[in-house]
Amino acid sequence: MNSKTILAALALVLAGILVWMLFVWQPDNTAVPQPGQRLALASQPSGGDFVLAGSDGPVALADFRGKVVVMYFGYTYCPDVCLTSLSLIAQGLSALDAAALQKVQGLFVSVDPERDTPQRLADYVPFFHPRLLGATGTPEQVASVARMYGSSYRKHPKDADGNYAVDHSSITYIIAADGKLVDMLQHGSPPASITAAINKALASGK
């Protein structure tokens, strides 16, 4: 078999794989990453509605229609990144005027449902700001919501004492009053940037 024949055969195989990926294969949006494995993401965050669990019952994004939602994925045992991010979000919320603040809901989604029960979240999250609410769900629910918003995380194996860390992306999501994802702020964005993004979403009237 000459080189031209081999190249032609490879081209046909690659074309077949591409057609399969485009028209047949569907990603599993509920697969939960195993310890040491990072959650696989969609190429482009799309956002969307979801229902998780809070200390007072189900927490649905649709419940906040008419409000701008500021959402962050993390976990309460996080030693540094979440503390920094929640503090910055809290400062951004505090810079809003009273009327605007009533039209905003902060939401902290835990990617560590094994330890972060709804009650633990209720005790932890409002410490940063009273407009912040904690929510989580089953591992499958959390993985599905994380994929929708392009949030990545990886649980490390437990140590001898049963403790473990969870690596995770650190993005602040701004969801408009109509439930559409409109902005994504990178880790370390200053409070002024968070406030500006919220005000922009409020001004859009969506």
**CATH for 32:** 3.40.30.10
pLDDT for residue 2: 55
The pLDDT assigned to 141 comes to 97
Distance of CA 31 to the CA centre of its chain: 15
Structure token digits, residue 185:
């702020």
- What is the structure's pLDDT at 4? 52
Residue 151 phi, psi dihedral angles, 5° rounding:
-95, 130
Q: What are the pLDDT digits (tens) for 6-46?
A: 445 444 544 444 433 333 334 444 455 554 444 444 446 88
| Residue 166, φ and ψ in degrees, nearest 5 | -130, 110
Query: What pLDDT, on the 0 to 100 scale, is given for residue 35?
Result: 47
Q: How high is the pLDDT of residue 106?
A: 98
Cα distance between residue 20 and residue 187, in whole Å: 36
Below-50 pLDDT ranges, the chain: 6-7, 9-11, 13-30, 35-43
The predicted structure's pLDDT at residue 46: 86
Domains in the chain: how many in total?
A: 1
Residue 45, pLDDT score: 83
Q: What is the dihedral of CA 189, 195, 200, 204, to 10 degrees?
A: 130
- Domain of 144 in residue numbering reads as 3-204
At residue 206, the pLDDT reads 65
